[in-house]
A and B are shown apart, each in its own frame.
Chain A
Amino acid sequence: MGNEVFLSAENILFTVAMIGYFISMILFFVFLAMKNEKAGSFAAYLLSACFGVHTVALVVRTIGAGRLPLTNNYEFATSFAWGIALVSLIFIFRYQFKALGAFSVPVIFLVIGYAAMQNKEVRELMPALRSSWLFFHVSTAIIAYGGFGVSFAVSLMFLLRERMNSSEFWNKHIPDREWLDMVSYRAASLGLLFLTFTIITGSIWAERAWGSYWSWDPKETWSLVTWLIYMFYLHLRIRRGWKGRGAAIFAVVGFICVIFTYIGVNTFLPGVHSYA
């Protein structure tokens, strides 16, 4: 199915983006390990370029498939990686925070690597998936997962920052822990806002397609678990003595829930969301 020329082009662009993300990841590692500023700048620009190529790949697949690429495991995985890349770039450039790449790009690479292992075949959609709510439901999930991915990366930095000395390089690129805590919070709150939107749009769509707003399907349940964990994280942050390390640990736990909701549920707990 689909326009083969576009799908072949998408395949090439996808591979280029994946290789680019890998090189960018190595450069970010060099930047931090060797304290090489040039490597860091180049890695950030390469990440931007890869994100551009990845975006074109998704557009080309949209044209080739005749619909948005948000409906099967491969499409959601590549879009998930795209979402983390998007939020990472926003945070890298908005907060002048190159070091984030060394922690978020490996996540992008793992997710896009998972996508590469999935079946890329374009299939016609089952009637339940042919809804305009699909766009709102899945695209918000991508941004949510991107936000959580970045929060996870920054929280890891927070936990590692404790062990780092306070050289000029570290102080410049991985500022104090209070700042990291705030950036992690910003990313998690972006994720939580969009996850809430995902759950609400999903409920509305579920009612139209299946006649029930909420049926405790494993994917629904684990989205709620993720939502509860991040709510816990937000409340924990404003409790005396928990801001910082405790909150960072819960941001990491939250992202493990995100990954389980995405991959674990599909693998171990099949339900009506088995295609997603």
Chain B
Amino acid sequence: MIKMNFRQDSCLPEKVIVPYMRKVLKFLGSMQFALILLLVLAVACAFGSFITQGQTLTWYMTSYGERAASAIMLFGLDDVFHSAWFVVITAFLCLNLIFCNVSRAPGLIRLWKTGFVPEKREKTCGRIYGNTEEDPAKLFSDMGFRKTASGSYEDGTGYRYAVKNKAGIWGAWLCHLGIMILIIGFSVGQMLKTETSVYGVPGQSKRIGDTNYVLSIDQFRIDLRDDETVDQYTTDFTVRNVSNADEMSGTTSVNHPASMFGMKFYQNSTGWAATMHVSKGGEEIQNGVVCVGEVTPIAEVPGLSIIIQAFYPDFFMEAGGEIGTKSSELNNPYYLYIAYYNDRVIGMNALGASEYITIDDLTVWFTDPQTYTLIQITTEPLAKLALAGGIVIMLGLILAFYVQPAEMWARKKDGVWMVTGTSRKGGVLFDRALREKMMQAEIPVHEESSEIPAGESDEAGIRVTENEDVKSLKDDAAPEAQNAGKDAEAH
């Protein structure tokens, strides 16, 4: 057995592997990787929407051709959103967000605690400058800064400083956190989610999946409008725990699910059902409610089953043999049935209300057509976590887009205030607003690119701050202040 010792062995692992791992970790949390993942996810989603999902190889061969069908099956494009590679990409996105947020958090905390102070702004200031003998506090106020701090530096020069929307620095970070919470909540939620359904007509009781609960359908209503369109589907039902006889009743309708025993009950769909009777030698040996599409075995003859393939409440048949229903009223009910024996079709026909089928010595007929209700029952433990993630994303976006940190700073030298302001995210729009406010206040405006001759007066006759003074503010930008600025805007 070969034992590797990174510390004592040659310098290779220490000097090569560690920096290499560091590079990998850095890449995993980088914006470059995030951009790749966003684009790949977008393309994968587009594929998933263009290729019909969840079909068989035969279906794809018929629809797209043999080669394309093979490629679809090979790359898991028949179930993109549940494929291993899609899950891996999403997991990488999560990793990217985690690495990014963890690496940015210290910088943001530092920025939040110590980044917004006049000493820092002295070193990184904006692109718009103005010089005035008036106190700039009013200009600050006009720019929407409520509080202005005053003080003086060690060299005795006075300053005015104001900051607003500090909370905005957390926007992107919160947005990332929200996406992480949403992805984790949704993914784990999908794994823990249970989903089943119960269908039947009033009076029927059925077990809910493999739980200890039994659902009884008490009543099912279809509310129709005057034009016979459906207004609402409503089911009254009762759920009973068979182990301890706990019982609760509820009502579910479309858009109004019911909750009980940790489960949610949705009014999912409806259809037609009828009572199927089977008799032998004049004696009824089997009867029960069957829904359209439901295969019902005939207990008397193993292997024999019957299915109502379709139901026509107001049946008609045209001369060409085309069949259908004129309305949803039960004026002329007909059942299109198929009889199977050991999975082989042995009979198929449309059966009227007073007609019956004879299979050897058995007689089968249908009565009491009525609508059944289908209730979907789910438990989704982490759904609220995913929703919380969505809310955090919204909060993050609002902070990132509309709470943009901005600062105004002024330094008094030789009786003249040099005023400037900056908002990295506000960019040119902040600069434009500042320029307008300065012009309204009749403060001569200089921009970053402007040449400001040292010691000369501008058009308004106000002494301009020395060029070196302005230049030093830009040039001496402290590394930590620059980093703080990056933190505020980085991925």
Contacts and interface: CB of A to CB of B under 8 A. Distances in A.
Interface of A: 1, 95, 123-124, 126-128, 130-131, 176, 178-179, 182-183, 186, 189-190, 192-193, 196-197, 199-200, 203-205, 207-214, 216, 218, 221-222, 224-225, 228-229, 231-232, 235-236, 238-239, 265, 269
Interface stretch (B251-259, B326-334, B412-420): B251-259
A214 B31 contact: no
The 9 closest A-B pairs by CB, nearest first: A127-B254, A211-B266, A228-B42, A189-B401, A200-B390, A221-B49, A232-B38, A131-B255, A211-B376
Interface residues of B, number: 52
Given A211-B195, A211-B266, A224-B45, 18 more contacts: A124-B225, A124-B227, A126-B229, A126-B230, A127-B254, A189-B397, A193-B394, A193-B398, A200-B387, A200-B394, A205-B255, A208-B256, A211-B268, A211-B376, A222-B46, A225-B45, A228-B42, A229-B38
A189 B403 CA distance: 12
A239 B429 contact: no
A265 B48 CA distance: 13
A228 B378 contact: no
Contact of B50 (A130, A229, A269): A269
B35 A235 contact: yes
19 contacts: A127-B231, A130-B254, A130-B255, A131-B255, A189-B397, A196-B393, A199-B390, A204-B387, A207-B257, A208-B256, A211-B257, A212-B378, A213-B383, A213-B387, A216-B81, A221-B46, A235-B34, A236-B35, A238-B31
Interface string B232-264: 110000000000000000000111110000001
Contacts of B225: 124
Nearest to B93: A228
B84 interface: no
B378 A211 contact: yes
B255 A218 contact: no
A134 to B, nearest CB: 10
A256 to B, nearest CB: 12
A83 B266 CA distance: 34
A227 B385 CA distance: 21
A209 B254 contact: yes
Nearest to B380: A213
B491 A208 contact: no
B38 A214 contact: no
A193 B401 contact: yes
Given A131-B255, A222-B49, A228-B41, A214 B186 contact: yes
A205 B232 CA distance: 16
B217 interface: no
A196 B394 contact: yes
A127 B230 contact: yes
A235 B93 CA distance: 14
Interface of B: 31, 34-35, 38-39, 41-42, 45-46, 48-50, 53, 81, 186, 195, 225, 227, 229-233, 253-257, 264, 266, 268, 376, 378, 380, 383, 386-387, 390-391, 393-394, 397-398, 400-401, 427-429, 432, 489-491
A209 B255 contact: yes
Contacts of A238: 31, 489-491
Nearest to A95: B429
Contacts of B31: 235, 238-239
B34 A196 contact: no
A193 B255 contact: no
Contact of A182 (B35, B42, B428): B428
Contacts of B41: 228
Contacts of A213: 186, 380, 383, 386-387
B227 A232 contact: no
A95 B376 CA distance: 52
Contacts of A196: 390, 393-394, 397
A269 B401 CA distance: 33
B391 to A, nearest CB: 8
Given A196-B397, A211-B378, A127 B232 contact: yes
Nearest to A271: B49
Nearest to B400: A189
B39 A232 contact: yes
Contacts of A208: 255-257
A108 to B, nearest CB: 24
A179 B127 CA distance: 14
A124 B393 CA distance: 35
